[in-house]
Amino acid sequence: MDFYKRVALVCRRIPKGTTATYGQIALLCGYPKNSRQVGYALGHHLAEDAPAHRVVNTKGILSGADSFETPSRQRELLEKEGVAVTWTDQGYRVDLKTYGWKNTLRDALWIRNEFEARNI
């Protein structure tokens, strides 16, 4: 369960109007190979505790529709924050170059320190 606490903490750091990838969240949690588990956590354990709508796959595709009340909810929440979402043949997509969270070393160190302070 500590992994889920880590995921929630990292996701709460994603600034409004930006997105992060499942892999990016897993890496910041200290588990770089656990991107699928990040998706599971957001869909099953952290719906109310983390801004799951800001997390997309590595291509920028909105892949968490099953985790929301309606299939369009993730897109609606992102657009409300000013993130442009476009339709592609792969599904709805955000441009990660424009809207991707470019976390810094300072962010990563703060996150690590929070994990240690919270013993997670």
Mind listing the pLDDT tens digit for each residue in 58-115?
999 998 767 788 889 999 999 999 999 999 999 999 999 999 999 999 999 999 999 9
Name the nearest CA neighbour of 36 among 59, 8, 57, 18. Answer: 57
* Residue 21 domain-assigned (yes or no): yes
pLDDT higher than 70, residue 11: yes
SS3 61: strand
Q: Which helix (H) or strand (E) holds 88?
A: strand 86-88
CATH number, domain of 75, equals: 1.10.10.10
Q: Provide the whole-model pTM.
A: 0.93
Q: How many domains does the chain have?
A: 1
What percent of the chain clears pLDDT 70, i.e. is strictly above it? 95
Average pLDDT over residues 4-9: 94
* Residue 120 domain-assigned (yes or no): no
Q: In terms of residue numbers, what domain contains 17?
A: 2-115
- What local confidence, expressed as pLDDT, does residue 103 receive? 97
CA 112, CA 70: separation in Å to the nearest integer? 34
